[in-house]
Structure 1
Amino acid sequence: MQDDSGPALPPAIEHVWGLRGRPPRGPRPGLSVDAIVDAAVRVADADGLAAVSMSRVAKELGAATMALYRHVGSKDELLTLMVDAGYGPSPGPSASDQDWRAGLTRWAWAEHDVLRQRPWLLHIPITGPPITPQQLGWLEDGLRCLESTGLAENEKMSVILLVTGYVRNEATLTAQVAEGSRAAGVEPGELMPAYRRTLSRLADPARFPALHRVLAAGVLDQDDDPDDEFTFGLDRILDGVETLVRARASAGAGR
């Protein structure tokens, strides 16, 4: 007989789904999984993911480090719970008057805003597909945006993977450039002009003619608005999805 119960879930996952609580062994009064996660998120928001440790979180709560392990079995468990809490609830399904493209654009911008506000989320390794309640809520709402497209279910999943991959990549690039600029002492708005001056000195026009045409056009005279860059890339991705949607509709009409 086939066992449909599935593999055993990590305690952290069972907790966020309310499947079971970690049995207490004389825990400090007031200490709970939720309180520990909230404290860890506060530390990450203030000082970045590198500052998060079991001892730092315990200090935040005024508790002994070992007391935390009665509720959260390891730092990896804590990180899993932090991702769920850090993302928070999804923006919800798109409004009834929105088409799939408007809905998916709204969904992508919502994820974009979370990752801009909490770039430490980008430093937590992805070890598998989403499984926590908040993450599955985001996935559900993204898929619901595509309900009217006529795409196959596997295609809808692929579209969501493509869009969220773009959002994460853009957020990672933006965060890394900002960190690098701060470390180099470059003032906001001066990164591209400084880069242009450097390229003008280093890049031989005979060897890099295409690059010099970019320089001559003034493309690097000022920093781009990151939101403009995000909009450009997202629109191009959705243009491709729209082409696929139209192709599937044409194929369906021809049957």
Structure 2
Amino acid sequence: MGRIARAAIEIAEAEGLAAVSMQRVAGLLGVTKMALYRYVPGKTELVALMVETAIGETPPPDGSGCGWREQLSDWACRLVSVFEQHPWLLDATVGPRIMGPKELAWTEQALAALDGTGFSGAERLDAVLLLAGHVRGIVRQARAAGHAGNPEAQLIVTLGELVQAHNEDYPALTAALASATQHGGQDQGFEFGLQRILDGLGLLIAQRSN
């Protein structure tokens, strides 16, 4: 099963998830398509196997006594890393599908980080989905921008000349782009959004504890 997953991942890494098929994987392994069906019933199960292999194990719980904020921040950063290493995961982890134990363990770890916060189970799940959505949005933007740059730098390049020619019509945008340029076009969207989400959760926790 490991060889099958790795072969499918090799195709997805090179050409994207849409290029993965039972026929392509069988050919890469040097077996017939029918032989592959003995181990994997179809593409749905194949993609689930790929996700499990790529996402990997969650690190063991940190025994250093980190609070919920540090735990969720670390979780989100590790999730970004996984998506950046395997961009096809963005397409493989949407909609109704088969979820394996490793992927479920990632969700379990994030939910467990909110123990003692006073959030209900539904609120914890909403918080984790909000974080995951932020991660996915940032990584998707970076993927669209390409490996040569980051989303913020690409925006500066794309809009720079146009806004300069019409700066009187877009004063706020002109000022924002000028500020970003002064900071070297460094993309801080992920960290800024992450901290604001955590700030909001922290504010709600504080309000309920009063």
- TM-score interval, smaller chain: 0.7 to 0.9
The size of the alignment, in residue pairs, is: 207
- How far did residue 222 of structure 1 move? 6.9
Gaps of 5+ in 1: 1-32, 180-186, 251-255
Residues 198 and 95 of structure 1: CA distance in aligned 2, closer, same or farther (over 3 Å): farther
Q: Residue 185 of structure 2 is aligned with which of 211, 224, 246?
A: 224
Residues 188 and 153 of structure 1: CA distance in aligned 2, closer, same or farther (over 3 Å): closer
1:198 match:
162
Paired letter, 2:161: R
Paired letter, 1:224: G
CA distance in 2, matches of 1:114, 1:223: 26
CA distance in 2, matches of 1:110, 1:41: 20
User: Matches of residues 1-255 of structure 1 in structure 2 within 5 Å?
Assistant: 33-124=1-92, 126-128=94-96, 131-178=99-146, 188=149, 191-195=154-158, 196-201=160-165, 204-215=166-177, 217-220=178-181, 224-226=185-187, 228-250=188-210
Paired letter, 1:73: P
User: What does the per-residue CA deviation read over 1:114-149, in whole Å, with 9 as the maximum and x for residues that have no partner?
Assistant: 001111101225123773101110011111111131
Counterpart contact for 1:94–1:145, Cα < 8 Å:
no
CA distance in 2, matches of 1:153, 1:129: 22
The structure with the larger Rg is 1
User: What does the per-residue CA deviation read over 1:15-57, in whole Å, with 9 as the maximum and x for residues that have no partner?
Assistant: xxxxxxxxxxxxxxxxxx3321121122223443233222221
Identity percentage over the alignment? 36
CA distance in 1, matches of 2:56, 2:17: 17
Paired letter, 1:249: S
Counterpart contact for 2:48–2:99, Cα < 8 Å:
no
- How far did residue 169 of structure 1 move? 1.2
Range moving further from structure 2, 123-132 or 140-149:
123-132
Residues 238 and 232 of structure 1: CA distance in aligned 2, closer, same or farther (over 3 Å): same
User: What does the per-residue CA deviation read over 1:69-107, in whole Å, with 9 as the maximum and x for residues that have no partner?
Assistant: 222121122112211222111233233420110011111
- How far did residue 192 of structure 1 move? 4.5
Q: Structure 1 or 2: larger helix share?
A: 2
Residues 242 and 222 of structure 1: CA distance in aligned 2, closer, same or farther (over 3 Å): closer
Structure having greater relative contact order (Cα 8 Å, sep ≥ 6): 2
Q: CA RMSD in A?
A: 2.3
Paired letter, 1:230: F
CA distance in 1, matches of 2:161, 2:36: 52
CA distance in 1, matches of 2:180, 2:6: 43
Gaps of 5+ in 2: none
1:24 match:
none
- How far did residue 232 of structure 1 move? 1.0
